[in-house]
Amino acid sequence: MGKGMKIFLGILAVFLILIFIAYSSIKGTYNSLVALDEGVNGSWSQVQNVYQRRADLIPNLVETIKGYASHEKETLEAVIQARASATKPQINAGNLAQNPQLFQQFEKAQGALSSALSRLMVVVERYPDLKANTNFARLQDELAGTENRITVERRRFNETVQGFNQKVRTFPTNILAGMFGFQQRQYFQASEAAQEAPKIDFSGGSN
């Protein structure tokens, strides 16, 4: 083998090694973006699950309250309408990156439902017989637990989004993220009404 051939093979070997290193780096970065992206999707599903759980509790809650406070029609209808609006948006995690307005609509609707529930809980304070009802007590406990889960899952979602966004913005990952269509995700920034869970603990006196 001539000297020129040896040099050529040496250069070729270095070139192939560089290609392998670049491929491995791109593959690793892409796979890490996919994992983080799926993490955001999974976290968003949990957020939707706990909000849906709250929505599922409301019909029974309203029916129970009707038995004791049927003339509170306006307040009860406000809760029912707010629930309908809150369950209307069908949003998957991928849409959040493409259409931030959908996320804002979701937050607004959930915030309105939280406000309606808070007003309903104030009304309930006027009915001691209702507060002593076993079914209502069970529903209030479930609703309180669900509100706590909503707070937890919102925080986890934001933490997951933060990790993903940091990765997407970091150089040189941001170049590959742009090439493969990975976009920053929206944080869950609830309105003031949504951030405050409805006061539903009636074990003591009036709040």
**pLDDT tens track for 114-158:** 999 999 999 998 999 998 999 999 999 999 999 999 999 999 999
**What is the model's pLDDT at position 11?**
87
**Within a domain: 139:** yes
**Within a domain: 163:** yes
**Within a domain: 170:** yes
Strands, E, within 4-97: which ranges? none
**pLDDT tens digit sequence for 44-73:** 999 999 999 999 999 999 999 998 988 898
**What is the model's pLDDT at position 203?**
42
Tokens in use for 174? 């941001």
Name the residue with tokens 């029916």: 63
Structural domain for 160, as ranges: 45-195
Which residue, 103, 102, 97, is CA-closest to 37?
97
Sign of torsion, CA 144 110 108 168? positive
**Within a domain: 86:** yes
**Within a domain: 5:** no
This prediction has a pTM of 0.81
**Within a domain: 25:** no
**Within a domain: 40:** no
Question: How many separate domains does the chain show?
Answer: 1
